[in-house]
């Protein structure tokens, strides 16, 4: 899958499909995230985990446990496994509000899926 050539809408459809197809890694996870993605094709997105189910949102998901702010390019790198969230945070490429531990947990969760 070439994330660089995909639109954000296509990427979120793929995220939704892969989380629905393999629920093992999200079992027992209860957390909500917002993604404020800047740059071309950016926007607000959300992801909510509850009781082994995952739900994706387009637009502002409202109040969340962990809010992430980054560029579209860095988000694609994160999904691809080519961006370490801790390094991105230290370099100012990733801003986190709320529970920082959940941001780290998200990176580990994404590594269990191939994007």
Where are the domains positioned within the chain? 3-108
For residue range 9-67, list pLDDT tens digits in order: 999 999 999 999 999 999 999 999 999 999 999 999 999 999 899 999 999 999 999 99
The pLDDT of residue 41: 94
For residue range 56-97, list pLDDT tens digits in order: 999 999 999 999 999 999 999 999 889 988 999 999 999 999
The pLDDT of residue 107: 87
Q: Decide which of 3.30.465.10, 3.30.1330.10, 3.30.450.40, 3.30.1050.10 is the CATH code for 3-108.
A: 3.30.1050.10
Entry pTM:
0.92
Q: What angle do CA 82, 87, 88 make, to 5 degrees?
A: 75
The pLDDT of residue 19: 94
The three-state secondary structure class of 14 is: helix
Question: How many angstroms separate the CA atoms of 43 and 9, rounded?
Answer: 10
Token pair recorded at residue 76? 């694609």
Cβ within 8 Å of residue 84, ≥6 positions away: 107
């Amino acid at each position: 899958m070439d994330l660089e050539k995909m639109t954000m809408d296509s990427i979120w459809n793929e995220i939704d499909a892969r989380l629905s197809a393999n629920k093992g890694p999200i079992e027992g996870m209860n957390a909500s995230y917002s993604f404020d993605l800047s740059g071309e094709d950016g926007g607000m997105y959300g992801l909510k985990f509850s009781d082994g189910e995952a739900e994706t949102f387009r637009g502002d998901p409202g109040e969340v446990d962990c809010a992430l702010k980054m560029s579209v390019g860095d988000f694609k790198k994160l999904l691809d496994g080519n961006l370490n969230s801790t390094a991105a945070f230290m370099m100012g490429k990733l801003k986190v509000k709320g529970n920082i531990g959940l941001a780290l947990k998200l990176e580990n969760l994404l590594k269990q899926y191939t994007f």
